[in-house]
Amino acid sequence: MKFTIPLLLSAAVLLPSISVAASNAITPPTLTSVSATEVPNIFSEKKLPIAIVGGYQIENAILTARTLSCGINVSDLEIEAKLRWDGTTPKILLVGMNLIMCRSGVTSPFSIDLSEFIHNIPVHVLDRLEVANNVSLGL
């Protein structure tokens, strides 16, 4: 009988606290202020250098070359020309989106109009301009 009274008292004290804890259920927060269209893109959309295979030719401000394509449509790369400085040497760098590098050796031709690029570059820079991209002669 000595042990049953403290046991009953303990149970009487614990029961109300258990019911209080159970009524305060944890609910996750809702995202009412953020919609799916406002979520920022976490994947990189950085344009990367294009590998040039078999050399290149520039005629009438159109650069024509071949690049590794791995079966993708080269026009989807959104190739553009950027001016890059390597020390004091100005270089033209061809970059593109979603570049997939492969080792299959499959190449596709591409052309890029450099008219706007050339128009925006001073003459003293154009005189020393080099191509910065990795150019493999495919030998």
Residues 92-101 as b/e (b if ≥16 CB within 10 A, e otherwise) read bbbbbeebee
User: Could you tell me whether strands 52-59 and 62-68 are parallel, antiparallel, or unpaired per DSSP bridges?
Assistant: antiparallel
| Distances from the Cα of 5 to the Cα of 28, 87, 104, angstroms | 41, 89, 83
Q: How far is CA 49 from the centre of its chain?
A: 13
Q: Among all chains, which residue has been given the structure tokens 């991209």?
A: 133
> 118: closest CA among 33, 48, 61, 47?
61
Residue 37, φ and ψ in degrees, nearest 5: -75, -15
Q: What's the mean pLDDT when you consider all of the chain?
A: 75
List Cβ neighbours of 119 (8 Å cut-off, separation of 6 or more). none
Q: Tens digits of per-residue pLDDT, 28-46?
A: 666 555 555 565 655 556 7
87 neighbors 35 (Cβ within 8 angstroms): no
Domain ranges (residues) in the chain: 48-136
Secondary structure (3-state) at 107: strand
The reported pTM is: 0.61
User: 49 pairs with which residues across the strands?
Assistant: 95
Q: Tens digits of per-residue pLDDT, 61-111?
A: 999 998 877 777 777 778 899 999 999 999 999 988 755 556 677 788 899
